[in-house]
Structure 1
């Protein structure tokens, strides 16, 4: 038997085991969300039960879930609309202009991204309070852009590095200026990378908890903060918390499925050559 023939079944088994391991918490959360608390924590676990969708109805129609989702969506969209264009321009420049100053700038961005959020949240809170912007969208969006900008710059730079520089030179010979080379030649080729960067930037902003806890309030509270207040410390409310966790996941799941083709294409850029 050839080594490659044996490797494929082994790889399939390992991937299946990994998928089961990764999906088990999600499946378990779905089951808890449609169980009464007495059934959710029964020992041994009850796998056969009558589903109860009361907790899903409660979070969507009685717990301001749609309002919190709108806040999260607005902050995430604002973050993407600001950070991705800046990251695209900076990533293209850093991929084409390779100088010691550029490398130092990239390392500086990486160091900033490595800072624990708990070290940055206090300065952001002090600045937002000083300009009376606590519980406003601009304050939260500005914080998310600052946190996500190093990530978007590095990711977009990696995509632009996969685009041959000879295309820039050919467009320049044909009479294009620097902006036309970027807008008409390079940017269309980098579209899958832009989609991937936008999706990851959206996820980072949508799931942010610590900054949302500190910078938002009653008017701009986001879903992660709201779900934390659904009584997760009381076992009697865990079904409600599980329903909230499923509810916060569903919009992103639908969004990712809609852009799946662009996401896969962007993630596989440069994987196959020749």
Structure 2
């Protein structure tokens, strides 16, 4: 392809991908009277009134707290359990060491909507419905298969000779994990933790159905701006930007570690 044509294609794809984001940013700082103006108004005096209203809302503060708690715990559980499970699958020989990871992957492929009713019944019987714990369990269940597969591919790349040398020097299994395996596997663990955090940060369906008003997360709050009086586009966009910015910042700061973890995990995963 000609270099000029390549640049045109790349520019078109960038506009296609970033255009809606730019529109959302502009809408979030537009006065309410100009949000739905036709034709669109491009020159206006920016206002932060939508952000002031949003950040001053007790609903936003509560939903943000829920989101941070649920996403952080989900991330920690998925990374820890995924790492330990993958270590067992790659370092020990037992029946099911090959088939169980495939089973986990099949579970990950099941559409979430098909599991809402079973999870609803289970959490009702366990008295977990409308709690953060219900979301944490549900999100960890979906994040764990990816974490296991990511870490299996990553741990297969690590030389087992280092672990054997540490064992010869007198380290027990847990010391080998702590001093040798975990430091070497930290990029893969970080990627697993980040993806699990994003799941807990962005997920909508389970939060809407399995959580109550006091335990729901930010994506559900965005849907609440579609009212019987119409869509509150200014606050809607401000909330969307508030949710997007932390994720984008983390992705930019950790992009090298993410690429490194994905690359190594994909070699033999």
2:136 aligned with 1:151, yes or no? Answer: no
Aligned to 1:71: 66
Aligned pair in 2 of structure 1 residues 165, 17: CA closer, same or farther (>3 Å)? farther
Q: How does the TM-score come out when normalised to structure 2?
A: 0.87
Aligned pairs, number: 267
2:152 aligned with 1:181, yes or no? Answer: no
Aligned to 1:3: none
Superposed CA deviations along residues 9-32 of structure 1, whole A, max 9, x for unmatched, are: 776665444333221111111111
Q: Distance in 2 between matches of 1:59 and 1:35?
A: 14
Q: Distance in 2 between matches of 1:23 and 1:46?
A: 19
Unpaired segments ≥5 residues, structure 2:
none
Equivalent of residue 84 in structure 1, options 79, 86, 89? 79
Residue pair 2:154, 2:266 contacting (<8 A) in 1 also: no
Aligned pair in 2 of structure 1 residues 168, 77: CA closer, same or farther (>3 Å)? same
Q: After TM superposition, list the pairs within 5 Å mapping 1:124-163 onto structure 2.
A: 124-163=119-158
CA deviation after TM superposition for structure 1 residue 207, in Å: 0.8
Q: How does the TM-score come out when normalised to structure 1?
A: 0.86
Aligned to 1:207: 202
Residue pair 1:84, 1:198 contacting (<8 A) in 2 also: yes
Equivalent of residue 54 in structure 1, options 49, 56, 75? 49
Q: After TM superposition, list the pairs within 5 Å mapping 1:21-40 onto structure 2.
A: 21-40=16-35
- Give secondary structure in 1 for the equivalent of 2:226: coil
CA deviation after TM superposition for structure 1 residue 261, in Å: 4.8
Q: Distance in 1 between matches of 2:140 and 2:77?
A: 7
Aligned to 2:189: 194
Aligned to 1:241: 236
Q: Distance in 1 between matches of 2:9 and 2:161?
A: 41
- Give secondary structure in 2 for the equivalent of 1:64: helix
Q: Distance in 2 between matches of 1:17 and 1:256?
A: 23
Q: Distance in 2 between matches of 1:155 and 1:243?
A: 34
CA deviation after TM superposition for structure 1 residue 38, in Å: 4.5
Residue pair 1:232, 1:241 contacting (<8 A) in 2 also: no
Superposed CA deviations along residues 59-106 of structure 1, whole A, max 9, x for unmatched, are: 111352122111000011111222211100111222234677222101
